[in-house]
Amino acid sequence: MTHAFVDCHSHVVPSGDDGAQNLVEGLELCEQAARTGTEVLYATPHVSPLLPLTAAREDAIRAAFEQLRESVPLELRLGYELTPMPSLLRERPERYLLEATDLVLVEVPFLGPPHELLAVAEHIESAGLVPLIAHPERTEAVRSDPALPARLVERGWPLQVNATSLLGRHGEEAEAIGWELIELGHAEIVASDGHRLTRPACLDDAYELVSERVGEEAAWALFDGSAIRSARPIPSRAAARGA
């Protein structure tokens, strides 16, 4: 099978977060992703209490994104990764959409209970959009309450597991939970959450492992973007340009 991965979670656009620090590093990350099979890559800068999306920061992100998009050997799309916080409840979630979808990427907080996650996810849902739940396997909330992922899935909120968790790079507990979410069918998407050259936006190694564990057909559905496209897609910028 020819790999054409769709990766909905990365930090390849310099944005002031802990991802790419400049355009040169961002370009190298995108080139590495393309070499390892990624065809569509979402840049999802962090939006958090320490990194709110001010107008000035948004302008800078969009300018960096446009510069990078013209240079990379894959289709680069823009979105954001939200850390749940009360201020988001006063905003329109459409601002944070993953481009060409009705999905908004929102992480489970690494520490503490999921109360703010649930409030923000419900706010996203009330706007007619779908919260995409990032890396639940890495969080205290899921370690404390193993039934939480199933409850999120029951609400129609897709779960995204990090490729690096499946590769054991976030510790044994995150690895075990990540694989459990895959094998139970709770996870719908595997993404890289690539940040830097030592943690690149690559999916190929995780895809091979998942294929071995659950079979190629089931694995491919986690990596090919079908779960992303199923969320009432709108035309991408590339399509709008006639690319």
Residue 162 in domain: yes
First to last CA, the chain: 24
The domain that contains 12 carries what CATH number?
3.20.20.140
Indicate whether this model's pTM tops 0.85. yes
| Total domains, the chain | 1
Residue 95 in domain: yes
Range of the domain at 77: 5-234
Residue 243 in domain: no
pLDDT at site 211: 97
- Mean pLDDT, 10 residues at a time, the chain of 243 residues: 86 97 98 97 97 98 98 98 98 96 96 97 97 98 97 97 98 98 97 95 98 96 90 46 37
> Which residue in 183, 205, 102 sits closest to 137, CA to CA?
183
Residue 240 in domain: no
pLDDT at site 232: 55
CB 206 within 8 A of CB 167: yes
Residue 29 in domain: yes
Residue 151 in domain: yes
Residue 218 in domain: yes
* CA distance linking residue 16 with residue 22, whole number of Å: 9
